[in-house]
Amino acid sequence: MLSTSDKPKFYGRRQGRRIRKAKTSLLDNFLPQIEITKNSVFKKEELFGIPVSKVYLEIGFGNGEHLAEQALRNSDTGFIGAEVFKNGVANLLTLITGIKEGADLPETFCLLPNRVDNIRVFSDDVRLLFKQIPDKFIDKLFVLFPDPWPKKRHASRRFINQDNLNEISRILKPGGILRVATDHKIYKSWTLRQLHERTDFRWTATCGNDWKHEPLDWVETKYQRKALAEGRRPVFLDFERKE
């Protein structure tokens, strides 16, 4: 068990509005079936309910739309989602079980019939999970619309920083991709600067503005919609882990 002093400080929200009955029940009764704990075995054949050929990690999945849809599209891939915000975790569970508020709650919860058991959830700060993940375990890693912490005095809170990049570099396979999306000018420059300092990543952009367009395998997220509604155009930065 980690003592409070071992835990990195987390500055975002852990819970928002009161979580209603169906979602509370999903958190209590279904999450433990797919939750990553300190006893989880990080082997591709064991971590998920099915054997998988690749593993993707999404950090800060928010409401879970991107994670749920990517997992549906890629049934031979295992997905690990890390999210601190309890309401977001509950929303992901709704998306993958189809259990909505007001519906009769079943005795046991299961995935929607069109899904395979390829999602595992870490419902806490991903920095506490990093040390459990073996070297080169992850094929693709998503950090989508991270909290921008735009004030200079809060820069150390930005998730893309050298300490986290060291862990990301360790767990990504050579040739694996780190994808960062942001709608924030400061965060875009910050991310490019952080990655530019390193010799272990290569920005994959090939022409002047391909990074201004959604990648082919993209799924829209809540924060992307919010940004577009408020007139901010997101950028999509893919970095390859060098051999």
Ligand X SMILES: C[S@@+](CC[C@H](N)C(=O)[O-])C[C@H]1O[C@@H](n2cnc3c(N)ncnc32)[C@H](O)[C@@H]1O
138 is a site residue for ligand X (CB under 6 A): no
183 is a site residue for ligand X (CB under 6 A): no
CA 27 – CA 123 distance, rounded (Å): 10
- Considering 147, 163, 210, 238, which one is annotated as catalytic? 147
- Helix (H) or strand (E) run with residue 65 in it: helix 65-73
Report in angstroms how near the CB of residue 84 gets to ligand X at its nearest.
4
For ligand X, which is the closer residue by CB, 4 or 108?
4
- Contact of 59 with 159, CB cutoff 8 Å: yes
For ligand X, which is the closer residue by CB, 202 or 213?
213
Binders of ligand X in range 18-57 (CB under 6 A): none
190: which 2 tokens? 């910050």
CA 77 – CA 116 distance, rounded (Å): 10
Binders of ligand X in range 189-218 (CB under 6 A): none
- Write the interaction track for ligand X spanning residues 64-103; mark x where CB under 6 A is met and - where it is not: ------------------xxxx--x---------------
CA 117 – CA 78 distance, rounded (Å): 8
144 is a site residue for ligand X (CB under 6 A): yes
82: which 2 tokens? 């890390």
126 is a site residue for ligand X (CB under 6 A): yes
Taking alpha carbons only, the member of 165, 191, 164 closest to residue 180 is 191
130 is a site residue for ligand X (CB under 6 A): no
CA 52 – CA 37 distance, rounded (Å): 19
Provide the binding-site residues for ligand X, judged by CB under 6 A: 12, 59-62, 82-85, 88, 125-127, 144-147, 159, 221-224
